[in-house]
Amino acid sequence: MSSDPAVVSIECVDLSIADPAGRRLVDGVTFTLPRRAALMVCGATGSGKSTLAAVLAGRAADGVRVDGGEAVVEGTSLRRGGRRLRGLGVYVGYVGQADGATLPPRMTVAEIVGEPFTGRVRRANGRAVQLRVAELLDELTLPLGLAAKFPYELSAGMRQRVAIARALMLEPRLIVGDEILANLDVDARRVVGDALGRRRAKGTSLMLVTNDAEVADTFDADVLVMRDGYTCAYGHGSDTARGALGDTIVA
């Protein structure tokens, strides 16, 4: 397996993932995500796509573990664990399926967006963090006045963009998004797409879990189609997704 993060962002070989009871949630998945490339993962509910994304982002649920095969993410083997695996969050920005709806209710927007940095650096430069948060809010067309507000004061689309800003805080080398465009209107989807595109041009890789076929075309993405934990199709562009899942895919 290639583990050079300058060349390959993710490499999975016969990867299997199990829950605490030993039940296989993902079984025998193999794919490569090169540096700067994009991968769309789609499938019906329960196909294992969200589990795959969370594990590769280093955000597996309690007890969910790699049970077979291998996965190397940004040069870190998920089988070996240890300190490097715990530090994967520095290199991987993750937006979970429910992140926009479950932002910490007692934290302000500024605190939420800045947390990936302030949570790692004891004596963070407050002014620098404020400027970085302001840059991200502006980039995602969120009013700077939102920085002092709490999640309950925001619309669903605003909360989703706050979750995305948090994932971008450390300028990760890999962005894993599970329904990252959910709850966004057409204009906001374009803004987020542009933000991801700018980072991709600088070397960031994208892994996006969605059943929206347009995502494959927007990001010129390879497509991994899952069913019951297995890969049932792997190709390029939206035709792969539509051909494998038909009505399950959003046109």
Q: 80-101: per-residue pLDDT in tens?
A: 766 667 778 899 999 999 999 9
Beta-carbon count within 10 A of 60 CB: 16
Percent of the chain with pLDDT over 90: 80
Q: Bigger pLDDT: 129 or 86?
A: 129
pTM of the predicted model, to two decimals?
0.92
16 pLDDT higher than 70: yes
Nearest to 170 by CA among 219, 135, 122: 135
Q: Which pLDDT value is given to residue 251?
A: 53
Q: Which pLDDT value is given to residue 248?
A: 63
Residues of the chain with CATH 3.40.50.300: 1-91+173-251
Quick check: 223 and 215 in contact, CB under 8 A? no
198 pLDDT higher than 70: yes
Spatial distance between the Cα atoms of 191 and 10, rounded to a whole number of angstroms: 26
Q: CATH assignment of 1-91+173-251, given 3.40.50.300, 3.90.340.10, 3.40.50.880, 1.10.3210.10?
A: 3.40.50.300
pLDDT interval class at 123 (50, 70, 90): confident
Q: Which pLDDT value is given to residue 1?
A: 56
121: exposed, middle or buried (C-beta count within 10 Å: 0-12, 13-18, 19+)?
A: exposed
Q: Bigger pLDDT: 246 or 153?
A: 153
133 pLDDT higher than 80: yes
**Cα distances (angstroms) measured from residue 38 to each of 133, 205, 245:** 26, 6, 20
123: exposed, middle or buried (C-beta count within 10 Å: 0-12, 13-18, 19+)?
A: exposed
Nearest to 61 by CA among 96, 91, 29: 96
- Token representation of residue 161: 């963009």
Distance, C-alpha 206 to centroid of its chain = 7
